[in-house]
Amino acid sequence: MTKVFRRLTSRQPDSTTTLFKNIGSLTALLICGDLVEAGVLSMPSASEWAKSISIMGKGSKEGMKACGLVKEKCSLQDFCLAFASLDKALQAELGKKEKEDMGYNIIMLEHALCKIKRIGVVFFLKHNLW
């Protein structure tokens, strides 16, 4: 998965232009996630997926910050550990049927974290969901 992500986001030699001009880091991550879900690529480890999320630095990383799981300027290693810990906690907390019903995996977790950022912390605090 990491090789595909790197290839999709790679740059032309001696240029700032990417090889795939219409594919940025978010689109590359989503393509990789779709390829994993389709069974074309193997499911990455939580740490491997977290590394791509952290490098990309979009909504799911902001969701981790909004939930207080990482600090604003956390290291790549700290981010990967926090993401893997969150996945481990959810794997333990959610029942088998719940995970099946929601299609839970780390790809889905990344999508959910992105939405948390969009919903905003205020909603969670206002409704005592924190």
> Domain boundaries in the chain?
2-126
C-beta separation of 71 from 65 below 8 A:
yes
CA distance 112 to 122: 17
pLDDT digits (tens, 9 = 90+) for 17-67: 778 888 888 899 999 999 999 999 999 999 999 998 888 877 888 889 988
Mean pLDDT of 87-107: 95
Tokens 């290839």 belong to which residue?
A: 7
Taking all residues of the chain, what is their mean pLDDT, rounded to a whole number?
Answer: 87
Mean pLDDT of 81-97: 95
